[in-house]
A = this chain, B = another copy of it.
């Protein structure tokens, strides 16, 4: 292929969309997708296509073929049986459709490699960027596109935000999308790319590198086909924005499972890991980490310092948090003499003014506010972990308001740890939806801070010309 990277603009910001396989029957995938476009309020030109179509589908004039549409189509969403996908793509090529998403399954993942080769051949012939097959496609709430064919009541509705999520696997994709929405952080783009026959991870990362709406990329990856291009694009992306990656198949047995899942070659994880580390990727050990790391990168400023202040309203939690910092390669900040004197003036005698700073079980918003203000301005402190246990008598929504005030100031990274049930969840939601990352345990918070700091150090080195340079 002549072009190095597929142009995904028509796919992600389409002015005109044809839904091939659209149907008036609510049980059909093409119906669900068409309905989704209407639900998200897509404002471009929408064309349902169905070979058996007569009249209108969901109020829109239906076409028998994409060739019958007079308009230039930016994106064709294809939801027809696998066997006829190549023929449909051929028509798209002839109609000069600019991009296609094939949600249909039934290709290499079930052994139909010849059919998949045929699909690829047609796509190459017309130089058509095709996403899939066997994928969920794309979602972008800002462009108001949504090719997902899942029951909407099963997945929480995401807000618009700075996290783009890329997944080779559809099921992992929908699960993490649901978690992103539930956690309350905002989605820029969701791209599920399935069998990656034409458009692959390299094309997607290249697109997201320059996407102004994407602040952080989180990524479920099983395998990479174009190694050198992947490295080049990865290097480019991580100089601009963090990539949090979870690799499926890090163990030998997991790697075998990858092969039977998407027919990808997982390859040696050590080789991947070396690349990830060299080029500033943030590795997630599990799905949890994707979310933990995603939300700190989305909301908090970078810092290369490792001195973390701990402010708590529970002594035992402060002990566990201190352990968690050291277990993650960070250290407990020592506050300056100036902070110490300032705090001694305002804190009651039961508060022992030292790190970890235990504000005691009756700490209220005033005590939290005074502590955080002083510590946030302390030059000996690089980042702040606040343990706000909402089970205690003094902790309420005013404490949450203080944490929102400082956690969204953008001065120093601030993370909150608030484990608990319904009352705590309500406060967690207030904070998360305002842009403060909240964790359920000291160790997940410490791990996330360590990831942020590690990436910050990579970026600083790279900016000073000490980055790793490899050209393709």
Contact = CB atoms under 8 A, between A and B. Distances in A.
A260 B319 CA distance: 9
Nearest to A29: B393
Contacts of A153: 423
A444 to B, nearest CB: 7
Contact of A171 (B178, B261, B314, B356): B314
B286 A320 contact: yes
Contacts of A392: 150, 154, 171, 174
Max count, chain B CB within 10 A of own CB: residue among A172, A251, A323: A323
B179 A323 contact: no
A315 interface: yes
Interface string A152-173: 0111100000000001111111
Contacts of A285: 443
Contacts of A262: 315
A349 B425 CA distance: 43
Query: How many chain copies does the complex carry?
Result: 2
Contacts of A316: 167-173, 220, 222, 248, 261
A60 to B, nearest CB: 25
A441 B155 contact: no
Interface string A434-463: 000000111110000000000000000000
A361 to B, nearest CB: 6
Nearest to A447: B286
A288 B443 CA distance: 9
Contact of A287 (B254, B287, B322, B419): B419
Interface string A252-273: 1110111011100000000000
Contacts of A182: 420-422, 425
A339 interface: no
A250 B319 CA distance: 9
A317 interface: yes
A110 B172 contact: no
Contacts of A422: 156, 182
Q: Which 4 A-B pairs have the closest CB atoms?
A: A171-B314, A169-B316, A182-B421, A156-B421
Interface of A: 110, 150-151, 153-156, 167-179, 181-182, 220, 222, 246, 248-254, 256-258, 260-262, 285-288, 313-320, 322-327, 331-332, 349-350, 352, 354, 356, 358, 361, 389-393, 395, 419-425, 440-444
